[in-house]
Amino acid sequence: MRLNYSILIKLLILQYLSVLCLPKDFDFFYFVLQWPGAYCDSKHSCCYPEIGKPTTDFTIHGLWPEYKDGSYPSNCDTNSVFEKSQLLDLMTNLQKDWTSLSCPSSNGFRFWSHEWEKHGTRSESQIDQHDYFEAALNLKKKVNLLQILRIARIEPDDGFYSLGNIVRAIIKDIGHTPRIECNKDSHGHSQLYQIYICVDSFGSEVIECPVPPKGRCASNVQFPKF
């Protein structure tokens, strides 16, 4: 009886995953940029990449396919593995703009592999593996968040800034509303952590988010140094 119950659970899990990965096109991407100062200043420790401390800038967390109903596909093709040999021409920019801060220190391959296998494989209906990573790098160039905020006199100086001013500064530049995600440091301060920007399903153009952006942040958030 216990064996049959175990088999039933596994079948239900497989059915659930198959629904998430139905062969239909996803609707848009979340392009997610992360502030390394908040990642490292939270209760979780961070480790710099093997090549050294990243530059003081937002880094890419991921390019995530999404559906308009708020759900998202993941791990859709277990046969499509991360192939670093396909990304040799992108490697310098990946190491600079899509760095891993998790511990232990790494060369980034594990992080990129995770992002591809969990999120990128669903995008294969539109773009292949090389174009997926290249699209994220191009978006990083197009949306220069640190410059956008600095123009609005919002600096990574451990100061506290109005969440509304941060959102308005980004809207002024990209023309669309971002989603802001905050974390908390060891003192309980709400910090600017991640910014979600919606992009079309080809990973090329910034669009208005089909799903209204939501985030858990205080009305004033800290922009920590890095």
Q: Active-site residue 115, yes or no?
A: yes
Residue 208's Cβ-side half-sphere holds a number of Cα atoms within 13 Å equal to 2
Rounded CA-CA distance 72/195 in Å is 18
DSSP for 120-154, please give it: GGGGGGT--HHHHHHHHHHHHHH--HHHHHHHTT-
Concerning whether 114 is annotated as a catalytic residue, the answer is no
Cα–Cα distance, 152 to 159 (Å, whole number):
14
CB-based contacts of 128, cutoff 8 Å, min separation 6: none
Task: Clarify whether 61 is annotated catalytic.
Answer: yes
Beta carbons within 10 angstroms of residue 44's beta carbon:
11
Q: Determine which one of 66, 119, 134, 189 is catalytic.
A: 119
Q: In the Cβ-directed half-sphere of 205, how many Cα atoms lie within 13 Å?
A: 3
Buried b (16+ CB within 10 A) or exposed e, 87-126: beebeebbbbbbbbbeeeebebeebbeebbbbbbbbbbeb
Rounded CA gap, 137 and 76, in Å?
Answer: 23
Annotated catalytic residue, options 66, 115, 134, 181: 115
Choose the catalytic residue: 61, 134, 181, 189: 61
Active site residues: 61, 115, 119
